[in-house]
């Protein structure tokens, strides 16, 4: 999408500024299964960090538990980085081996 943002409609500027607006790269945040992290802890983390309802969080937790991996959401890099760090910090604080990672979409 090319948007002519700062170009006045008169001839007061010699060079029009062209601002190229495109969607930012997106990253998928993934949760990994393990044998030790309690299910209710995973559900709580998904509710806190990803603003899921208890029902949504339970659905994602069970998907991860059954298949080994699951998607928490797709975000811009900054937001994905922050959420991965929040999950890793919470798991570490409670001495759970829960792993969270991200991949480009």
Q: x/- binding map, residues 41-60, to ligand TYC, per CB under 6 A?
A: -x------------------
Q: CA angle, corner 56, sides to 52 and 59, nearest 5?
A: 140
Task: Assess 87 for contact with ligand TYC (CB under 6 A).
Answer: no
Q: Which of 27, 29, 31, 75 binds ligand TYC (CB under 6 A)?
A: 31
Measure the N-to-C terminal CA separation of the chain; round to a whole number of Å: 20
Under DSSP, the state recorded for 95 is T
Q: Which of 28, 30, 33, 90 binds ligand TYC (CB under 6 A)?
A: 33
Q: Interface residues with ligand TYC (CB under 6 A)?
A: 31-35, 37-39, 42, 61, 64-65, 98
């Amino acid at each position: 999408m090319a948007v002519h943002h700062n170009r006045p409609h008169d001839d007061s500027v010699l060079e029009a500024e062209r601002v190229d607006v495109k969607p930012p790269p997106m990253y998928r945040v993934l949760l990994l299964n393990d044998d030790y992290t309690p299910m209710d802890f995973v559900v709580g983390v998904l509710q806190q960090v990803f603003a899921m309802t208890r029902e949504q969080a339970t659905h994602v937790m069970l998907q991860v538990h059954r298949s080994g991996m699951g998607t928490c959401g797709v975000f811009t890099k900054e937001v994905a980085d922050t959420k991965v760090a929040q999950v890793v910090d919470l798991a570490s604080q409670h001495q759970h081996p829960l792993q969270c990672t991200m991949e480009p979409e």
